[in-house]
Amino acid sequence: MDKLDAETIDTLKEVLGDEFGLLMETFLEDVPVKLKQLNEAVQQNDVEALERLAHTLKGSSGNIGAHALSSACATMVNACRQKDTEQAAGQLDSIIAEFEAVRPALEALKT
């Protein structure tokens, strides 16, 4: 679970109780959709959509303690704000890699 912030996870479990697993499941279902949308935005060179999607993913991943994923998304958001579409597009692979790295830990928390 070294890819997740244990304190954040413990707090979420305490606050959400039985709903915690549902939160993990929802996040795991939502992220691949967001990644697909990010890829489409990169293909269309749509910096506004990239910024919006990356910002959303940054917040949700930070809220569940996936800080490396959140940080990768923040880098994309910052690149979008600087209108650096090349750097923003290049960050997509890092975001995907961070999600794949944290996915097993999140999957284990669903139950």
What does the pLDDT read at residue 110? Answer: 84
For residue 66, give the DSSP letter: -
What does the pLDDT read at residue 35? Answer: 97
What does the pLDDT read at residue 70? Answer: 97
Q: Domain coordinates of the chain in residue numbers?
A: 6-109
What does the pLDDT read at residue 107? Answer: 94
Domain 6-109 sits in CATH 3.40.50.300: no
What does the pLDDT read at residue 85? Answer: 87
Q: From 31, 85, 28, select the one nearest 58 (Cα to Cα).
A: 31
Distance, in Å, from the CA atom of 64 to the CA atom of 47, rounded to the nearest integer, reads 26
Q: What are the backbone angles phi and psi of residue 97, rounded to the nearest 5°? A: -60, -40
Report which secondary-structure segment, H or E, holds 39: helix 20-43
pTM given for the model: 0.93
- Report, as ranges of residue numbers, the positions in the chain whose pLDDT lies below 70: 1
What does the pLDDT read at residue 1? Answer: 54
